[in-house]
């Protein structure tokens, strides 16, 4: 069961609280300015979940900074299917360094920049996403690592992603 391989508050340490999971409604989400992402679907346009049959997800807030969040996704499939799926999504996002996501009546300006991923696992991908709406800007780092037949994706505040990525991968592998 993949959910037992996800990070917990105990793994992360003091100051982290599990965030309630909610199912996003993507029916009224449109991508403007990036046909490649639009073809992949609404979840891909914002770096949300990938489409694999076996998956688990969790998210945390970091109480020392009310704007800091950390989420982890874990996927399992054949190495080739995982590699193809993650490559397709990250390549699509990188193909459009600037685009817009319209959710309901809110327009969000998005920029995507490829980042260097740490030398972990068999394959790795990383990017910085900047969301801008209503005069507010949020930078999110998203790093994915494939190790055998699992992919771990850690997203959130860049410093938190860097601090916890290896821990997430090690926990996912230890129970594999």
**Interval 102-143: pLDDT, tens:** 888 889 999 999 999 999 999 999 999 999 998 999 999 999
Backbone angles phi, psi at 174, to 5 degrees: -60, -30
Measure the CA–CA gap between 165 and 118, rounded to whole angstroms: 9
CATH number of the domain located at residue range(s) 14-174 in this protein: 3.40.1000.70
Residue 140 has a pLDDT of 94
Q: What letter would DSSP give residue 66?
A: T
166, two tokens? 């290896």
Residue 171 has a pLDDT of 95
The gap between the terminal CA atoms of the chain, to the nearest Å, is 10
Q: Tell me: the pLDDT tens digits for 52-107?
A: 778 899 999 988 666 689 999 999 999 999 999 999 889 888 888 999 988 888 89
Residue 53 has a pLDDT of 76
Helix (H, G, I), strand (E, B) or coil at 25: coil
pLDDT band at 144 (very low <50, low <70, confident <90, very high): very high
Q: Which residue has the tokens 């770096």?
A: 47
User: Beta partners for 95?
Assistant: none
The answer, yes or no, to whether residue 12 has pLDDT greater than 60, is yes
Strands 106-114 and 98-103 come out as antiparallel
């Amino acid at each position: 069961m993949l959910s037992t391989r996800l990070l917990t508050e105990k793994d992360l340490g003091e100051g982290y609280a599990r965030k309630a999971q909610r199912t996003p409604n993507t029916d009224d989400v449109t991508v403007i300015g990036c046909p490649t992402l639009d073809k992949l679907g609404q979840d891909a346009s914002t770096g949300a979940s990938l489409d694999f049959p076996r998956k688990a997800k969790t998210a945390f807030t970091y109480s020392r900074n009310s704007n800091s969040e950390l989420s982890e996704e874990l996927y399992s499939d054949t190495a080739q299917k995982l590699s193809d799926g993650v490559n397709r999504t990250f390549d699509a996002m990188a193909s459009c360094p600037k685009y817009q996501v319209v959710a309901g009546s809110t327009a969000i300006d998005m920029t995507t920049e490829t980042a260097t991923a740490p030398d972990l696992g068999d394959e790795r991908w990383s990017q910085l996403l900047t969301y801008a709406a209503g005069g507010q800007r949020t930078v999110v780092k998203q790093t994915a690592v494939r190790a055998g037949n699992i992919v771990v994706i850690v997203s959130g505040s860049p410093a938190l992603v860097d601090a916890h990525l290896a821990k997430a991968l090690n926990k996912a592998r230890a129970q594999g």
